[in-house]
Amino acid sequence: MLGKLFKYDLKSLGRFIFPLYAVLFGSAIAVRLFLELFGSGADSQGAASFVYTLLGSVIAIVYFLSIVASIFGVYVVIAINYHKSLMSDRGYFYLTLPVSHDMHLISKLLAGALLILLSAAVFVLSFLPFIIGNVQLPEILDVLGKVWETIRELFLSKNAWLILTLLAIGYLFGIQILIFFCITVGQLIPNHRVLGAFLAFIAHMILSRSISGIFAAAGLERLDIEIFDMATVGEALSGILLRSIIYYLIIYAVEYVITRFVMKHKLNIE
């Protein structure tokens, strides 16, 4: 059943997101073509210059907006899909399917995670039209290698793979669980469901920020300022980062349990 739910969740999410990817690639190619064909347009005068500027601006704006939409829009689509499927009209169908609440949640999390991953990949790939022909692959790999080295030295000097794995889990599932938690808790306040969701979000922010702040302060306090070298700083920051990620993952796990509990025992769909 999980496979079937996943299939329909992916279809439901994909019908908004996949066209967005097409717009992103299309506009990236259009920007590159514009630069290739009309790059010298800046030298032209009067009406021609105005047309070049206008056309270039429109294409660039579309490209920029589609980048923003594909990165952040995926979360909006995930939130709308969750609300419509389980907390609104469509809940009358989906919640009467012979599957457990866990299966609904896991299916939605997996479908959402796949699209978050795809969005990140599509974002990176959308730079291809600009790179091809202008920059050589070894140069890119060299820059990426240097960036990675700096990050590794500063934040990942210890437990690098553990931190990266936990970060990936948090990135793919954490925000989704937070979205599900807020919407589900919000429906506990009849007639004020949006306000309820907003209050749940505020509660999450206050709790998570205050305790992660305490973690960070405690970590920095242990840092010996007298021996202030990169290795010591890197080690301290790695520790703070690892503790913060674990702390956030615990919060997301608790929010998943609360979401599941409300769905199972306090469900009151509109």
Q: Which of 4, 146, 192, 209 binds another protein (CB under 8 A)?
A: 4
Q: Are 30 and 61 in contact (CB under 8 A)?
A: no
Of 25-33, 48-56, 91-99, 245-253, which part binds another protein (CB under 8 A)? 91-99
Rg (Cα) of the chain, in Å, rounded?
23
Contact 158, 235 (CB under 8 A): yes
Point out which span in 61-69, 70-78, 95-103, 199-207 binds another protein (CB under 8 A): 95-103
Stretch that binds another protein, among 96-104, 127-135, 202-210, 230-238 (CB under 8 A): 96-104
Residue 80 touches another protein, criterion: CB under 8 A: no
**Phi/psi class of residue 191: alpha, beta or left (left: φ > 0; alpha: ψ in -120 to 50)?**
left
Question: What is the Cα–Cα distance from 83 to 93, expressed in whole angstroms?
Answer: 13
Q: Which stretch binds another protein (CB under 8 A): 97-105, 121-129, 163-171, 179-187?
A: 97-105
What is the distance between the alpha carbons of residues 127 and 120, in angstroms, rounded to a whole number?
12
- Please say which residue, 110 or 242, places its beta carbon nearer to another protein: 110
Contact 30, 59 (CB under 8 A): yes
Q: Is 253 in the site for another protein (CB under 8 A)?
A: no
Alpha-carbon gap, residue 242 to 257, rounded angstroms: 23
Q: Which of residues 43-62 bind another protein (CB under 8 A)?
A: none
**The binder of another protein chosen from 64, 72, 92, 127 (CB under 8 A):** 92
Please identify, using beta-carbon distances, which residue of 49 and 268 lies nearer to another protein: 268
Residue type, 24: L
Residue 170 CB, shortest distance to another protein, in Å, is 30
In three-state secondary structure terms, 48 is helix
Q: How many CB atoms lie within 10 A of CB 211?
A: 15
Q: Which of 2, 12, 153, 258 binds another protein (CB under 8 A)?
A: 12
| 15 near another protein, rule: CB under 8 A | yes
- Sequence-distant (6+) residues with CB within 8 A of 70 are 17, 20, 21, 24, 119, 122, 123
Helix orientation angle between 193-222 and 175-186, rounded to the nearest 10 degrees: 140
Contacts with another protein in 171-210 (CB under 8 A)?
A: 190
Note whether 20 and 119 are within 8 A (CB): no
Q: From the list 55, 75, 100, 201, which residue makes contact with another protein (rule: CB under 8 A)?
A: 100
- Per CB under 8 A, the list member of 36, 89, 139, 142 interacting with another protein is 89
8: contact with another protein by CB under 8 A:
yes
With binding defined as CB under 8 A, does residue 266 bind another protein?
yes
Backbone torsions φ then ψ of 187, nearest 5 degrees: -70, -5
Should residue 76 be labelled a site residue for another protein when binding is judged by CB under 8 A?
Answer: no
To the nearest whole angstrom, how small is the minimum distance from the Cβ of residue 59 to another protein? 30
| DSSP 8-state class, residue 1 | -
9 or 63, CB closer to another protein? 9
Q: Where do contacts with another protein occur on this chain (CB under 8 A)?
A: 1, 4, 8, 12, 15, 89-93, 95-100, 190, 265-269
